[in-house]
């Protein structure tokens, strides 16, 4: 393993790949983590996610401290300065160490001539930190969201928008789903206690446990043996609502990375599950999860809009459609969403959701159940989508729908509709 690397320069490269190349952190981080130590993997993730969580603040500070922005081939140094600012603002790394490592990042990025500039900007921030922070809290950037998204949230939730935004800007809690084929939730809580891992059960979700402090999955008792899965509380609700039963034919559509596929099979191990996703790379994760949990499903690549290409005329008792969406309910887990999404994406995503819903409906048996779910909080993708589908589909009846909003110690933003074929 290489040890001669500068972590801050690697973080700057990751941020550059997200903001300038449009890649997601979940794509970028694993690649960049390959040649760094386990200890530094966590720090790299903390810095990259933190910078993207607080991006408007860091941009605003740089604007106050620099006359001209760094552009072109020097743009990577702009992101390196952000890395330095984030450490000074939000981490416990001693200021002198954060400064030294960030300045040395310029050398690693082959821009040694700019060491002085970076050092100067960061030291100037240290001197003015209190007054700059106070001024920022009175600026329009203080909500740390792009203006188009903030406007949509305010319109949809005129009374709750502030708490939604605050929730989006926090670090997410770590939720576990206990595999009750191995242990009851109470038994697993005891196992965690024996390892001195503090955790709390959720009264409204029978499989859910929240850790007081997130930890490496390898520290969780029996993780490698499938005793437990990392899955947000709100996401766990999907399989609960679906209520799968043994021997049934079940379709998990848009299944990657497989959390819901495996949950279906934990509830009904003898169900015949077909897991479909358009992304072949992400389907590998589905298979990995099935293998770890020693469960079996048919895993196929396919587009939900064209089931005739992969369905072979099958009819399903139950369908779980976790539809492609804006992911505006999971911003706290994926802060890059704020900067990768665009306003006009919402209309395009809603159209895809509509096409998938209508395409898959004929493959649901009469009397069957479809759970439509998204990790979005926007009505266009959720309530309005379901209302339009019901209005145009005579044999569809919605028995339940619910919108979860992100909560600090609770679940992610999620929407569910339970639609029956009559």
Q: Looking at 48, 311, 375, 404, which residue is catalytic?
A: 375
Classify burial at 182, counting beta carbons within 10 Å of its beta carbon; exposed 0-12, middle 13-18, buried 19 or more.
middle
Query: Phi and psi at residue 323, in whole multiples of 5°?
Result: -70, 150
Query: Is 232 annotated in some ligand binding site?
Result: no
Query: Is 359 annotated in some ligand binding site?
Result: no
Query: Is 257 annotated in some ligand binding site?
Result: yes
Rounded Cα–Cα distance for residues 198 and 80 (Å): 36
Query: Is 344 annotated in some ligand binding site?
Result: no
Query: Is 254 annotated in some ligand binding site?
Result: yes
Sheet holding 199-201, edge to edge: 199-201, 208-211, 174-178, 228-230
Query: Is 322 annotated in some ligand binding site?
Result: yes
Rounded Cα–Cα distance for residues 138 and 135 (Å): 5
* CA angle (234, 235, 239) in 5-degree steps: 115
Query: Is 303 annotated in some ligand binding site?
Result: yes
Query: Is 67 annotated in some ligand binding site?
Result: no
Both tokens assigned to 406: 């992100």
Both tokens assigned to 217: 């999955």
Rounded Cα–Cα distance for residues 235 and 127 (Å): 45
181: alpha, beta or left, given left = phi > 0 and alpha = psi -120 to 50?
A: alpha
- Is 375 catalytic? The answer is yes
Query: Is 255 annotated in some ligand binding site?
Result: yes
Query: Is 279 annotated in some ligand binding site?
Result: no
Binding positions for S-adenosyl-L-methionine are 254-260, 277, 303, 322
Known catalytic residues are 375
């Amino acid at each position: 393993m290489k040890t001669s690397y500068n972590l801050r320069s690697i973080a700057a490269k990751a941020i550059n790949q997200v903001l300038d190349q449009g890649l997601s952190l979940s794509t970028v981080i694993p690649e960049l983590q390959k040649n760094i130590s386990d200890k530094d993997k966590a720090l790299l993730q903390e810095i990259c996610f933190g910078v993207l969580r607080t991006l408007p603040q860091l941009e605003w500070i740089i604007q106050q401290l620099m006359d001209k922005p760094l552009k072109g081939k020097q743009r990577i140094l702009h992101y390196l300065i952000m890395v330095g600012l984030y450490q000074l603002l939000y981490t416990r790394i001693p200021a002198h160490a954060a400064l030294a490592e960030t300045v040395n990042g310029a050398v690693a990025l082959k821009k040694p001539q700019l060491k002085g500039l970076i050092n100067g900007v960061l030291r100037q921030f240290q001197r003015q930190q209190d007054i700059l922070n106070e001024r920022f809290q009175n600026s329009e950037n203080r909500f740390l969201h792009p203006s188009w998204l903030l406007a949509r949230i305010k319109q949809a939730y005129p009374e709750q928008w502030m708490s939604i935004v605050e929730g989006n800007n926090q670090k997410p809690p770590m939720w576990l789903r206990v595999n009750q084929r191995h242990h009851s939730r109470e038994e697993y809580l005891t196992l965690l206690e024996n390892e001195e891992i503090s955790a709390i059960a959720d009264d409204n979700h029978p499989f859910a446990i929240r850790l007081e402090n997130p930890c490496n999955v390898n520290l969780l008792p029996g993780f490698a043996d499938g005793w437990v899965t990392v899955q947000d509380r709100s996401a766990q609700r999907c399989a609960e609502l679906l209520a799968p039963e043994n021997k049934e034919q079940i379709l998990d559509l848009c299944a990657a990375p497989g959390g819901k596929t495996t949950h279906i099979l934990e509830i009904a191990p003898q169900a015949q599950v077909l897991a479909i996703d358009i992304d072949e790379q992400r389907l590998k994760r589905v298979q990995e999860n099935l293998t770890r949990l020693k469960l079996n499903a048919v895993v196929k690549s396919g587009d939900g809009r064209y089931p005739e290409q992969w369905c072979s005329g099958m009819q399903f008792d139950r369908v779980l459609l976790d539809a492609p969406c804006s992911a505006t309910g999971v911003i706290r887990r994926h802060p890059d969403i704020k900067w990768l999404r665009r306003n006009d994406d919402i209309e395009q995503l809603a159209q895809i959701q509509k096409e998938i819903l209508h395409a898959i409906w004929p493959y649901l048996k009469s009397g069957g159940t479809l759970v439509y779910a998204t990790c979005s909080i926007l009505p266009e993708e959720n309530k309005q989508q379901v209302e339009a589908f019901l209005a145009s589909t005579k044999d569809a009846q919605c028995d339940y729908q619910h919108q979860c909003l992100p909560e600090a110690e609770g679940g992610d933003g999620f929407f569910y509709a339970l639609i029956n074929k009559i």
